[in-house]
Amino acid sequence: MNDPIAPRRHRQPRGTATERLSLREVRALATAVLRHHGFSDPHVEAVADTLVAGERDGCASHGLYRLLGCIATLRAGKVSPDAMPKLHEMAPALLRVDAMRGFSQVAYKTALPYLIGKARSQGIAALGINRCVHFSALWADIEPLTDAGLVALACTPSHAWVTPAGGSKPLFGTNPLAFGWPRAGQPAFIFDFATSTVARGEIELHRRAGKPIPEGWGIDADGKSCTDAATVLDHGAMLTFGGHKGAALAAMVELLAGPLIADMTSMDSLAYDAGTKSSPMGGELIIAIDPARFLGAQCEAELARAESLFEAMLGQGARLPSQRRYRAREASLRHGVLIPRALYDDAVALLPRGAA
């Protein structure tokens, strides 16, 4: 495909802060950069899908910005650009896939049809992704399962960036937890949140923009509240949401997607990183449940009862998780997305001179 990397005829004056790109152009840029740096076609396609999805859904911290980290991780020797995942069937309802130190996306795509098949035949199935480099939002792993009519959960550790409640030193990762519930004729009910107060990418974007972070996001090296993004990222620690409750959930994620699937904790991942500031290495646990197998003849009625819950939430003026993301998706499909000029320039700089 010879899509243009940048919409030159539509580019704004150099002094403006953003570039408007179509999703096709975002994909072309991501694909060109990944291919230039030697990623194999399966990894180029799968990683580009993730980056485009992040921009499409208004999740800038997991969009094109992550392309810079992908290349930095490759240059540090912390990810394989052409890894071929190996799938292992552990039991009738259990799968593990070894990502072979590649990004998680290709390993997940390899295992996904088997996970869906096992969930439908057994009623519930679990997949452990091992030895994967992980940078993406978990909703991207949940959506294919809800699209298949399954209930789904996923979690993964990261690097040790987050202090436990009452602590002052990094121990946990941001340790996201995601859940999805299928809805007939409507977008799925999906939430995906870090067990830290905010995703680390949000703090990184504040640092890039030279903006202070809100109180409660992080602490400095002395354990004191800090609003300087660079200090929190480089010398301090992030905080869990909800104090001890968020810390307990973060510990649960460490256990489920670490020792339970024989993979790294966030402390292990940070040690493996050895100061390169690469994307985290470790595991991911995904559980898929088939409501039709669980409920049998009651399935239709119980799914309707679930809809009454969603209607009651909306009836009080609440917003369902992912509603903002779905609205952003509709808008970006029509109008494209705005990319900070500095980020666009950094991404283009990863191409050979004169390629853009």
Q: Which pair of tokens denotes residue 343?
A: 């980020």
- Condensed to tens digits (0 to 9), the pLDDT of residues 280-309 reads 999 999 999 999 999 999 999 999 999 999
What is residue 311's predicted lDDT score, i.e. its pLDDT?
Answer: 97
What is residue 3's predicted lDDT score, i.e. its pLDDT?
Answer: 52
Catalytic residue among 43, 62, 134, 206: 62
Average pLDDT, the chain: 94
Rounded Cα distance, 142 and 287, in Å: 10
Would the pLDDT of 346 be above 80? yes
- Condensed to tens digits (0 to 9), the pLDDT of residues 326-345 reads 999 999 999 999 999 999 99
Does 19 participate in catalysis according to the annotation?
no
Mean pLDDT of all residues in 266-277: 96
Fold annotation for 8-75+336-348: Hypothetical Oxidoreductase Yiak; Chain: A, domain 1 (1.10.1530)
- Residue 27 DSSP one-character state: H
Q: Which pair of tokens denotes residue 240?
A: 């869990």
Name the 3-class secondary structure at 15: coil
Does 235 participate in catalysis according to the annotation?
no
Mean pLDDT of all residues in 39-44: 98
3-state secondary structure 196-261: ECCCHHHHHHHHHHCCCCCCCCEECCCCCECCCHHHHHHCCEEEECCCHHHHHHHHHHHHHCCHHH
Helices 65-75 and 341-348, packing angle to 10 deg: 30
Contact 86, 97 (CB under 8 A): yes
Would the pLDDT of 88 be above 50? yes
Does 61 participate in catalysis according to the annotation?
yes
Q: If you write DSSP's letter for every residue of 53-108 in order, what string do you get?
A: HHHHTT-GGGTTHHHHHHHHHHHTT-S-TT---EEEEEETTEEEEE-TTSBHHHHH
Q: What are phi and psi of 353, to 5 degrees?
A: -60, 130
Fold match between 8-75+336-348 and 197-239?
Answer: no
Would the pLDDT of 5 be above 90? no
Output the furthest CA–CA distance in the chain (Å, rounded).
62
Q: If you write DSSP's letter for every residue of 114-164 in order, what string do you get?
A: HHHHHHHHHSEEEEEEEEEE--S-THHHHHHHHHTT-EEEEE---SS-EEP
Percentage of the chain exceeding pLDDT 90? 91
Q: Where are the domains of the chain?
A: 8-75+336-348, 85-195+243-321, 197-239
User: Within a 10 A sphere around the Cβ of 193, how many other Cβ atoms?
Assistant: 21
Q: Is 292 exposed, middle or buried (0-12, 13-18, 19+ CB in 10 A)?
A: middle
What is residue 353's predicted lDDT score, i.e. its pLDDT?
Answer: 83
- Condensed to tens digits (0 to 9), the pLDDT of residues 53-63 reads 999 999 998 99
Catalytic residue among 25, 202, 254, 284: 202
Percentage of the chain exceeding pLDDT 70? 95
Q: Which residues contact 174 (CB under 8 A, 6 or more apart)?
A: 158, 161, 162, 194, 195, 196, 199, 200, 238
Residue type, 105: Q
- Condensed to tens digits (0 to 9), the pLDDT of residues 312-331 reads 999 999 999 999 999 999 99
What is residue 4's predicted lDDT score, i.e. its pLDDT?
Answer: 55
- Condensed to tens digits (0 to 9), the pLDDT of residues 7-24 reads 444 445 444 589 999 999
Q: What are phi and psi of 59, to 5 degrees?
A: -100, 75
The gap from C-alpha 41 to its chain's centroid, in whole angstroms, comes to 21
Contact 230, 277 (CB under 8 A): no
Would the pLDDT of 167 be above 90? yes
- Condensed to tens digits (0 to 9), the pLDDT of residues 112-146 reads 999 999 999 999 999 999 999 999 999 999 999 99
| The listed CATH number (3.90.420.10, 2.40.290.10, 3.30.60.50, 3.30.70.2190) that belongs to domain 197-239 | 3.30.60.50
What is residue 77's predicted lDDT score, i.e. its pLDDT?
Answer: 98
Catalytic residue among 36, 45, 61, 168: 61
In CATH, 85-195+243-321 is 1.10.3720.10: no
